[in-house]
Amino acid sequence: MTGSTVLHLLPLSTFHNDRDRPITAASLTSQGFVHCSPDVPTTLAVANELYSDVEEPMVAVELDPERLSSPVRWEAADPAPPPGVSDDALFPHVYGPLDRESVIGIRYARRDVKGRFLSLESRNRTAEEFDLLPHPEGGWYRRTWASPVEVERPNGTRPTATTIYFLLPPGQHSAWHVVLSDEVWLWHRGGPLTLHLGGTGSKPSDHPEQVVLGAGAGQTPQAVVPAGTWQYASAAATVESLVTCVVSPGFDFADFEVV
């Protein structure tokens, strides 16, 4: 992002709708302009103030004001700036629809398991190829299947199994987390991915077991993490890892704990 661009936050589904039409917002009718933000920290503050209850994926489109056909005016927040943003801060208000030609980038919102917005991130080539979104534990994912057969669990009804693609970029790792179902990891491509298994105690062990997923010597293309086992994954320093995760009974964030 450059200092000359601005950001507009919206649901991913809204961005994809009517791709041949300009982007609009309800505020264009009620206030006469489309709300934008000057930078990522301000956009995150807006997201956490106004969109914390929105469950669907959110994105911020990066706009080049020079490509907008409508005027951009830097004005005081209307009605007020979000918490953490100065009362003196000026916001870019676009007095008309946002031309699709003005969109020069898309940032995908990463949220924690409680829904708080943490960051706005660009997708790499593999995430674009498989249409992946940020996962609360780290990495990128997309659910690809859920069994139509259901089973009753302590936290509610679940599919008997679910699958996702999971991508971990180079040098990154997920957070320690635990799932209340068995999880099978299937390695597809890229570099090796190391699973760190921290036991079934109230917190992860200080001396976790390691299992390396991959096709090389001493590696395995699949591994099982038993239900209730603390785990996190780490990618090689210079190569991403793409895997499939099969969870049975099926995954639900209500059955997921992260530290």
Q: Which domains does the chain have, with CATH numbers?
A: 6-120 (3.20.170.20), 125-258 (2.60.120.10)
User: Which residues are within 8 A (CB) of 186 and not within 5 positions of it... i.e. 6 or more apart?
Assistant: 221, 222, 243, 244, 245, 246
What does the pLDDT look like over 33-46, one tens digit per residue? Answer: 999 999 999 999 99
Q: How confident is the model over 14-22, as a mean pLDDT?
A: 93
Burial class (CB in 10 A: 0-12, 13-18, 19+), 99: middle
| Cis upstream peptide for 81 (omega within 30°) | no
Residue the block writes with tokens 């009620």: 30
> How would you classify the pairing of strands 90-94 and 34-35?
antiparallel
What does the pLDDT look like over 209-232, one tens digit per residue? Answer: 999 999 999 999 999 999 999 999
Residue 150 is predicted with a pLDDT of 98
Residue 18 is predicted with a pLDDT of 85
Give the residue from 110, 129, 221, 215 showing the smallest Cα distance to 172: 110
Residue 214 CA to residue 221 CA, distance in Å, equals 5
Beta-sheet strands, E only, within 68-161 = 72-76, 90-94, 103-111, 117-121, 133-134, 140-146, 150-153, 156-159
- Amino acid, single-letter form, for residue 145: W
Residue 5 CA to residue 246 CA, distance in Å, equals 41
What does the pLDDT look like over 106-134, one tens digit per residue? Answer: 999 999 999 999 999 999 999 999 999 99
Residue with the bigger pLDDT between 91 and 3: it is 91
- Amino acid, single-letter form, for residue 238: T
Asked if residues 25 and 95 have their Cβ atoms less than 8 Å apart, the reply is no
Residue 7 has pLDDT above 70, yes or no: yes
Residue 1 has pLDDT above 90, yes or no: no
Residue 2 has pLDDT above 80, yes or no: no
Confidence of residue 3 (pLDDT cuts 50, 70, 90): low
Structure pTM? Answer: 0.95
